[in-house]
A and B are shown apart, each in its own frame.
Chain A
Amino acid sequence: MEIPLTKNLQPGGIPLPIKDFEAAGGYQAVRKALGSMKPEDVTETVKQSTLQGRGGAGFPTGLKWSFVPMGEQAPHPKYLVCNADEMEPGTFKDRVLLEGDPHSIIEGMIVSAYAIQADVGYVFLRWEYRVAEERLRQAIVEAYQAGYLGKDILGSGWSFELYLHVSAGRYMCGEETGLLNSLEGKRATPRSKPPYPQVSGLWGKPTIVNNVETLANVPHIVNNGAEWFRGLSRSQDAGTKLYGVSGKVNRPGVWELPMGTTVREILEEHAGGMRPGLKFRGVIPGGASTDFLVEEHLDVPMDFASIQKAGSRLGTGTMIVLDDQTCPVAMVHNLEHFFAQESCGWCTPCREGLPWTEKLLKAIEDGQGEEGDLELLERHSKLLGPGHTFCALAPGAVEPLQSAMRYFREDFERHITEKRCPWR
């Protein structure tokens, strides 16, 4: 089984210095792309690979790039931003690459930037990733010294400057257009679309924002080809995937596995199953803003299409497990507390609806729920859903809520009829 994304990870976690990274095949894709491929060829190869964004939305990467204006008439500077603002609760996969193999991300950025003919790149990193910050800084310096960054890279005539931007908190910075506002030195509120960032992004110039794991895939696709990449998967969605599991399992962690590995295999073989005395009750498959799945879904392959068919989203591919001794209402309350707090306040449904939802859940959890509360929560789930808000924060927030109310209905009802939390 090939594990292109994690093959360089060292026991102890210290990343390879640039010389060793090069000896392991690193920066070959930069040489290949700049030396023998036209920018459009790189985009075409990534398109053929059917790589989909690993940040949560799963948009086809090559297609996204193809919207960037190219040629002599194209506006400049163009920008490439690496979204390293990993803040989705329960998600801890990009950290592994940022800390363990920073050169792989820089290489991915250079090749991707070449494809869209970007002039400037930013790594947008959350403040709390202190170790990653230090290692990225070091890796960027090394890449400049080796001539992979800066003016006229490897004599190709193409220049690319790369900077590290360390943020100052707030989940909204991970939202594509919120991130762009933040990079411009503003509040991280979302922008209305269109225009899309690919055409009018940072300071009104064409801009691509890609997730860390997405970018790390690009050099391998350029080196080995689209067919190889599609062949890594066990299902129709291509590549490998960094899957993670947290919650009360025996061996929580992150693993690079073929796309399409089933929920059961990940939970049982890799995460070691539930801790002694606990039973599996449900799982949020891809970070806080995805719908719960339950026992009947254990054999669903973890890929974009299959998880969607099962009624949820692959999201970030990092699962959070609910066991049979944890109150599902309290768990959902914790999630909605997060979303209500992180709403940027830009649009009314999200700013007003999420705190309302949180208060209802708190009341139910505290035994003060009333008849009609569940219907009210259901109405919120619809009114905060897709199409009613500027960005995906609120629609994401109601995914675990609506599915918890479907699968754990009895638990919600017992809280209200018994006027207490049965788990306390």
Chain B
Amino acid sequence: MLSEDEKREIEEQLKHYDVKRPACIEALKIVQRYRGWVSDEAIQDIAAFLEMTPDELDNVATFYNLIFRRPVGKNVILLCDSVSCWLLGYDAVRERIRERLGIGLGETTADGMFTLLPNVCLGTCDHAPAMMINDELYRDLTAERVDEILEQIKQGTE
């Protein structure tokens, strides 16, 4: 079941288009914002609300890498692995995260606190290497900076 808030937000998006389907990507993002990820049940509920079949909607949901069809941690790390970040130390940042959190790309910590995902160029190449955690962009990363940031977020989440 979609919550009243979710329905209200999706309806707001419907105003931007003459038909319902174009709102489906926004609808997936809205539900994900409330629940962290998009379950099979959510796919069915959103599809029904937008007069699509669940298969039509899942076809869309599975295309976009920022729609999560599996559960993720409370904090999602999007680590840029594109060329400028690679040139300036992406490997070292990824290894530092592995040392600190014990997770590699595509993995979630046992306590459900962090998920690490690779991401294409974050468009901040003059401050490479970079990553996003949730809505926040972190740039000019070094091993020490990564430690500080992860510690801050751990404290903020608890």
A-to-B contact residues, CB < 8 Å: 86-92, 94-95, 122, 126-131, 163, 165-171, 182-188, 203, 244-248, 252-254, 284, 288, 318, 320, 322, 326, 331, 334-335, 337-338, 341-342, 344
Which single member of A128, A163, A254, A341 contacts B132 (CB below 8 Å)?
A128
- B81, B123, B135: residue with the most chain A Cβ atoms closer than 10 Å: B123
Q: In the complex, which residues of chain B have a beta carbon less than 8 angstroms from the beta carbon of A92?
A: 123-126
Which single member of B21, B67, B125 contacts A246 (CB below 8 Å)?
B125
Is B113 an interface position by the 8 A CB rule? no
Q: When the two chains form their complex, are residues B125 and A91 in contact, meaning their CB atoms are under 8 A apart? A: yes
Q: For the complex, would chain B's binding face be called helix, strand, loop or mixed by DSSP majority?
A: mixed
A342 with B120: in contact, given A169-B64, A331-B86 (CB under 8 Å)?
Answer: yes
Q: When the two chains form their complex, are residues B66 and A335 in contact, meaning their CB atoms are under 8 A apart? A: no
A168 with B66: in contact, given A88-B121, A91-B125, A183-B22 (CB under 8 Å)?
Answer: yes
Closest chain-A Cβ to B10's Cβ sits at a distance in Å of: 12
Task: Give A18 to B87 CA distance when docked, in angstroms.
Answer: 39
Is B101 an interface position by the 8 A CB rule? no
Stretch at the interface among B1-9, B24-32, B92-100, B149-157: B24-32
Q: In the complex, which residues of chain A have a beta carbon less than 8 angstroms from the beta carbon of B87?
A: 246-248, 320, 322, 326, 331
Q: When the two chains form their complex, are residues A182 and B126 in contact, meaning their CB atoms are under 8 A apart? A: no
With A92-B124, A168-B66, A326-B87 given, name 16 new contacts (CB 8 A): A86-B123, A90-B125, A126-B123, A129-B123, A168-B25, A168-B65, A169-B67, A170-B64, A184-B21, A246-B87, A246-B88, A247-B87, A248-B88, A252-B128, A320-B83, A334-B81
**Could you pull out 12 A-B pairs where Cβ atoms are within 8 angstroms?**
A88-B121, A89-B120, A92-B123, A92-B126, A128-B132, A130-B136, A166-B29, A203-B18, A246-B87, A252-B128, A254-B126, A318-B125
Is B70 an interface position by the 8 A CB rule? no
Task: Give A424 to B128 CA distance when docked, in angstroms.
Answer: 22
Nearest opposing residue in chain B for A186, CB measure? B60
Q: When the two chains form their complex, are residues A90 and B83 in contact, meaning their CB atoms are under 8 A apart? A: yes
Which single member of A186, A253, A322, A335 contacts B126 (CB below 8 Å)?
A253
When A and B form their complex, what is the total count of cross-chain residue pairs whose Cβ atoms lie within 8 Å? 130
Task: Give A401 to B150 CA distance when docked, in angstroms.
Answer: 37
Closest chain-B Cβ to A294's Cβ sits at a distance in Å of: 17
Nearest opposing residue in chain B for A172, CB measure? B63
Is B78 an interface position by the 8 A CB rule? yes
Task: Give A167 to B66 CA distance when docked, in angstroms.
Answer: 9
Which single member of A171, A184, A253, A284 contacts B22 (CB below 8 Å)?
A184
Task: Give A185 to B61 CA distance when docked, in angstroms.
Answer: 10
Is B143 an interface position by the 8 A CB rule? no
Which single member of B18, B23, B126, B135 contacts A245 (CB below 8 Å)?
B126
Nearest opposing residue in chain B for A187, CB measure? B63
Q: In the complex, which residues of chain B have a beta carbon less than 8 angstroms from the beta carbon of A203?
A: 18-19
Task: Give A126 to B60 CA distance when docked, in angstroms.
Answer: 16
Task: Give A91 to B122 CA distance when docked, in angstroms.
Answer: 9
Which single member of B16, B19, B29, B65 contacts A163 (CB below 8 Å)?
B16
Is B82 an interface position by the 8 A CB rule? yes
Q: When the two chains form their complex, are residues A170 and B84 in contact, meaning their CB atoms are under 8 A apart? A: no
Which single member of A94, A170, A334 contacts B65 (CB below 8 Å)?
A170
Q: In the complex, which residues of chain A have a beta carbon less than 8 angstroms from the beta carbon of B82?
A: 89-90, 288, 334, 338
A338 with B83: in contact, given A183-B22, A248-B88, A252-B126 (CB under 8 Å)?
Answer: yes
Q: When the two chains form their complex, are residues B123 and A95 in contact, meaning their CB atoms are under 8 A apart? A: yes
Nearest opposing residue in chain B for A126, CB measure? B123
Closest chain-B Cβ to A164's Cβ sits at a distance in Å of: 9
Nearest opposing residue in chain A for B135, CB measure? A130
Q: When the two chains form their complex, are residues A288 and B83 in contact, meaning their CB atoms are under 8 A apart? A: yes
Is B119 an interface position by the 8 A CB rule? yes
Which single member of B28, B65, B120 contacts A338 (CB below 8 Å)?
B120
Q: In the complex, which residues of chain B have a beta carbon less than 8 angstroms from the beta carbon of A169?
A: 64-67, 120
Is B48 an interface position by the 8 A CB rule? no
Task: Give A326 to B86 CA distance when docked, in angstroms.
Answer: 10
Binary interface encoding of chain B residues 91-120 relative to chain A, with 1 for a CB under 8 A from any of its CBs, else 0: 000000000000000000000000000011
Q: In the complex, which residues of chain B have a beta carbon less than 8 angstroms from the beta carbon of A318?
A: 125
Q: When the two chains form their complex, are residues A187 and B60 in contact, meaning their CB atoms are under 8 A apart? A: yes
Q: In the complex, which residues of chain A have a beta carbon less than 8 angstroms from the beta carbon of B136?
A: 130
Q: When the two chains form their complex, are residues A128 and B122 in contact, meaning their CB atoms are under 8 A apart? A: yes
Task: Give A337 to B90 CA distance when docked, in angstroms.
Answer: 14
Task: Give A203 to B18 CA distance when docked, in angstroms.
Answer: 10
